[in-house]
Structure 1
Amino acid sequence: MKTVLKSVVLAAGLFVAAQPVMAAAPQAKTLEQLLQQVQKDRLSEGKINKQREQEFLSERADKQALLSQAKRELVAEQARGKKLEAQFGENEKQLAELEEKLTLAVGNMGEMFGVVRQVAGDAQSRFQTSIISAQFPGRDKLMGELAQSKELPELPQLEDLWFALQKEMTASGEIVKFPANVITGTGDREQREVTRVGTFNLMDADQYLVFNGETETVGELSRQPESYMTATVDSYADNASGYSALYVDPSRGTILTLMTQKVTLDERYKQGGTVGYVITAVLGLGLLIVVERLIVLGGMSAAIRKQLKSDTPSDKNPLGRILKVYENNRNVDVETLELKLDEAILKETPRIERGVSVIKVLAAVAPLLGLLGTVTGMIDTFQSITLFGTGDPKIMAGGISTALVTTVLGLVAALPLIFLHSIVYSRSQSLVHLIEEQATGIIAEHAEKESK
């Protein structure tokens, strides 16, 4: 009995725990009250469970209806997806066909667009450096717009491109004069009449001009080319009809600009430095001695020829002084006369040959000085390489210029001195030979007289 009661109490406790929201039942005081209360609660719980079961069944029906509706919607959406997928494939096919038609339709236009941009870019770079732009400035701006355009060119733009190219071709074969502002060497601007020779040269009355494509200005060269070139400009400008020779620049100004940087003879000479000046002094001294010797020997030769035609000895020429020695020793024997005449010839020979050996020495010293300059120049070059490396050739240019120029100067000085030495030496030797020949004749004549 206690066990049954305990089970009933536990069941009642569980029921209360499961239904915390139910109203608390009156507390049983006896076993009968407790049993009645349990039965009452059992009946009440059965009703509640049936009500819950009815609610669950009702909700189940609703959920089943919703599930069926969702399945129907899923089937509809799947059918719609298949329909859209088929339509998408059809659209892709039509789009590919239309793109192919578009490519075929604009193919020629696209190729023309590329050609126009390329031609316009080439024309822009050509117009920027062409001397024709000095007469017609601003031509490269339109070409730049066409070259950088992202759209198909219109018909007026194509006509402008054609006209610009035709104008360049036509002007390249013309020789015209036009007014232009010329920038002088001092930076001033002068209005001058400029002559344009095709695409080759710009010039005014007496000099060449150059066109700067970046600033679109005409200016004088920092230095004109050599005189034989600029002389043709004068004759060409003065020529009113016919033909006239003129030096043209096929590189459209590049060669002409480079020629202004060409080193002149004076600048090249100054590159020789101190050694070059010493070589020049050696050459000058040698030339002075040569001139003095040629004048003196020429005078001696004339005096000797005059003496040969005269019977009276003169103290103003070597042969006359030798004849005087003979006159003063007519009565001596042949050996003594020969010795006297040899002594007189020995006295005259240094006067005749004076300075000839100096010329020879100077001719030998000049190339040695050139070699000295070469060595010193190479020393400077290697010092520059040691200090600054070989990155900048201009640093080594000074030493190399000295080395090469001094060698040239030494050879230039030695060659004429060698030739002049041979001339002076041959003339002095001819005079000595003439004096010895006359002395030998006098001795032979004196010996013949003694033998009689």
Structure 2
Amino acid sequence: MKNIVNRLVISLFAGAVALSAGAQETKPLDLDALLKQLEQGKFEQYKQNEAREREFTSQVAEQDAMLRDARARLTAQEKLSGQLETQSEENEIKVTNLKSALDERKGSLKELFGVLQQVAGDTRSKFANSMVSAQIPGRGEFLDKLAQSMGTGSQMASIEEIERVWFEIQREMTESGKVTRFDTEVVEADGTRHQKSVVRVGPLAMVADGKYLEFDGATGSVLELKRQPIDRYLDSAAALEASNGELVKFGMDPTGGSILGLLVQAPTLMERIDYGGLVGYIILAVGAVGLLLGLERMLTLFVVRQKVNKQLKSSVPSDNNPLGRVMKVRDAHPNADTEALELHLTEAILAEMPRLQRNLTLIKMISVVAPLMGLLGTVTGMIITFQQITLFGTGDPKLMAGGISTALVTTVQGLVVAIPMTLLYAMLSTRSKNIIHVLQEQAAGVIAERAERS
């Protein structure tokens, strides 16, 4: 009833608005005309309200019918729901009883199927990483399906499935003891794919074209190692491929690839040198210069020593060696007294010393500077390391490996240059001093001889 009153008020308001709008359109001449116009509008609005009220009353009856129908369907569905709940409880009881009966009938087979499920899962994991799967693909799908079906408990293994599990395990054992050659697609280090003849040594190694391969169980692909081991292992791989059944030496990883993966990650000599950076290259360049100077001095002093030895056996002085040139000073002053001759000989020996000791001071400087340059590289590497720690923290050691490698490698490079340079300087200095000692000894003999004459 309240809804009806609200609708009537809204209708009267709408009618008044319409009349006011009509009144604005047609202006009355006087008050009587305005009154008459309002009476006519009220009568028409009354008719419209009655029509709307009848329409609303008819819709109320229709809505009541729909409500009764909905309540009837709700009652029917509630009744059906109760029946289904009762049936569900009965079914749960039946399923529980059937499971109990199934467990009783399984008996010891239940433990057997549990072991079989575990064996199937473990064998599937082994097949996924076994190199035998590169030659015999698709072995793991059967084991995977068997483990999943038995895991859900919806299906028991048949005799054929149990025998196939045994067959696959036995085939893996048999193939593990063979050296087999087969053709398959190989993904090379540059990403290209080629059909190649592959030699497989059990589940431990595979080689093709003299290079080591690996098996990716996730994709089932045979991949060429991006970094190969050193040449002696590659030579053994080539020898294995070229053999016709005879025994050959072959580098094999008993862990199935773990040791080989670590081995190929070891940096080469050039990579280790690169770790030293700019400071490392400068140290090596300085060391190379020192080595060249040392070799030149070593060869020169060897030749001079041979000529001096030859001059010792000859009484005729020669200009091609220091001793001969010193002896010529004696012959150039035959009438000089002992003191004057001693001074002339000392002058001649002093003139020969720079030739004999040339570049020795530079070699000594290199032996001293090289460790200092290595220390410079160490400090530089540690600065880089601390900067990386400041930016990224210490969570990832790989971020700090570059700076630490630079620090350690430059230290090693400095010592590698300094130690040989120190030994080389000591050896060359000893040789030059020995030659100078011979010159001084011979000069002392000449002075003594001249003193005896006097």
TM-score, normalization by structure 2: 0.75
Structure 1 equivalent of residue 416 of structure 2 = 412
Other structure's SS at 1:319 match: helix
The answer to whether the 8 Å contact 1:381/1:396 transfers is: yes
Note if contact 2:378-2:411 (Cα within 8 Å) is conserved in structure 1.
Answer: yes
CA distance in 1, matches of 2:255, 2:184: 22
Secondary structure in 2 matching 1:182: strand
For residues 259 and 299 of structure 1, the distance between their equivalents in structure 2, rounded to whole angstroms, comes to 47
Structure 1 residue aligned with 2:144: 144
Correspondence for 1:131: 131
Which residue does 1:121 correspond to in 2? 121
User: Does residue 292 of the first structure (1) align with residue 296 of the second (2)?
Assistant: yes
- Out of 328, 347, 355, the position equivalent to 2:332 is 328
Q: Tell whether the 8 Å contact from 1:313 to 1:324 is kept in structure 2 after alignment.
A: yes
Cα distance in 2 for residues equivalent to 1:102 and 1:154: 16
Please list the CA deviations of residues 89-118 of structure 1 after superposition, one character each: whole Å capped at 9, or x if unmatched: xxx9xx99x988764532211111111110
Contact 1:378 1:403 in 2 (8 A): yes
Secondary structure of 1:223's counterpart equals coil
Amino acid in the other structure paired with 1:208: Y
The residue type paired with residue 117 of structure 2 is R
Residue 197 (structure 2) pairs with residue 190 (structure 1): no
Q: Retained in 2: the 8 A contact 1:362–1:414? A: yes
| 1:202-241 equivalent positions in 2, closer than 5 A | 202-241=206-245
Distance 1:335 1:403 in 2: 60
Note the C-alpha offset of 1:333.
1.5
1:361 paired residue number: 365
What is the CA-CA distance between 1:232 and the residue it aligns to? Answer: 1.1
Q: Is the 8 A contact 2:229 2:263 kept in 1?
A: yes
Q: Please state how far the C-alpha of 1:306 moved relative to its aligned partner.
A: 2.6
Number of the residue aligned with 1:108: 108
**Range moving further from structure 2, 269-278 or 251-260:** 251-260
Residue 184 (structure 2) pairs with residue 180 (structure 1): yes
- How many Å separate the matches in 2 of 1:100 and 1:177? 53
| Bigger mean CA offset, 402-411 vs 106-115 | 106-115
Q: Secondary structure at the match of 1:336?
A: helix
TM-aligned CA deviation for residue 357 of structure 1: 2.1
Q: Secondary structure at the match of 1:163?
A: helix
Q: Aligned letter for 1:354?
A: R
1:194 to partner: Cα distance: 0.7
Whole-angstrom CA distance in 1 between matches of 2:192 and 2:273: 33
Judged with a 3 Å threshold, the aligned counterparts in structure 2 of structure 1 residues 376 and 99 are, in CA distance, closer, same or farther, namely closer
Provide the C-alpha distance between the structure 2 equivalents of 1:402 and 1:410, rounded to a whole number of angstroms: 12
Measure the CA separation in 2 of the matches of 1:107 and 1:427. 95
| Residue 299 of structure 1, CA deviation | 2.2
| 1:153 aligned residue | 157
User: 1:417 offset after TM fit, Å?
Assistant: 1.2
The structure 2 residue matched to 1:427, chosen from 427, 431, 448, is: 431
What is the CA distance between 1:443 and its match in structure 2? 1.1
* Residue aligning to 2:400: 396
Q: Which residue of 2 aligns with 1:346?
A: 350
1:384 corresponds in structure 2 to 388
Distance 2:158 2:145 in 1: 12
Once the two structures are overlaid, the 10-residue window that deviates more, 385-394 or 166-175, is: 385-394
Encode CA deviations 1:40-73: one digit per residue, 9 max, x unaligned. Answer: xxxxxxxxxxxxxxxxxxxxxxxxxxxxxxxxxx
Q: Does 1:256 align with 2:260?
A: yes
Contact 2:360–2:428 (8 Å) recurs in 1: yes
Q: Is residue 2:450 matched to residue 1:446?
A: yes
Q: Within 5 Å, which residues of 2 pair with 1:23-172?
A: 103-149=103-149, 150=152, 151-172=155-176
SS at match of 2:222: strand
Seen in structure 2, the aligned counterparts of structure 1 residues 330 and 262 have a Cα distance that, compared at 3 Å, is: same
Residue pair 1:176, 1:195 contacting (<8 A) in 2 also: yes
Letter aligned with residue 242 of structure 2: D
Aligned-residue offset at 1:241: 4.2
- Identify unmatched segments of 5+ residues in structure 2: 1-92
Relative to structure 1, the CA distance from residue 382 to residue 171 in structure 2 (aligned partners, 3 Å threshold; closer, same or farther) is same
Equivalent positions of 1:243-322 (< 5 A) are 243-322=247-326
User: 1:116 touches 1:146 (CA, 8 Å); kept in 2?
Assistant: no
**Aligned-pair CA distance for 1:393:** 1.6
What is the CA deviation profile of residues 323-367 of structure 1, one whole-angstrom value per residue up to 9, with x for unaligned ones?
111111221111221122112111111211111122122111111
Deviations 1:285-330 (A, max 9, x none): 1111101111221221122223223332222221111111111122
Count of aligned pairs = 356
**8 Å contact kept, 2:132–2:175:** yes
* Match of residue 199 from structure 1: 203
Aligned to 2:334, the other structure's residue is in SS state coil
The one-letter amino acid paired with 1:204 is A
Identity %: 47
CA contact (8 A) 1:132 1:199 kept: yes
The alignment yields a C-alpha RMSD, in angstroms, of: 1.9
Contact 1:359 1:417 in 2 (8 A): yes
CA contact (8 A) 2:103 2:110 kept: no
CA contact (8 A) 1:180 1:194 kept: yes
Q: Distance in 2 between matches of 1:102 and 1:278?
A: 81
Q: How far has the Cα of 1:167 moved from its partner?
A: 0.4
Distance in structure 1 (CA, Å) of the matches to 2:102 and 2:391: 68
Cα distance change on mapping 1:388 and 1:100 into 2, 3 Å: closer
3-state SS of paired residue (1:391): coil
My pick for the range that moved more, 400-409 or 198-207, is 198-207
Tell me how far apart the structure 2 counterparts of residues 303 and 316 of structure 1 sit (CA, whole Å): 7
Separation in 1, partners of 2:320, 2:198: 70
Q: Which has the larger radius of gyration?
A: 1
CA distance in structure 2 between the aligned counterparts of 1:295 and 1:253, rounded to whole angstroms: 51
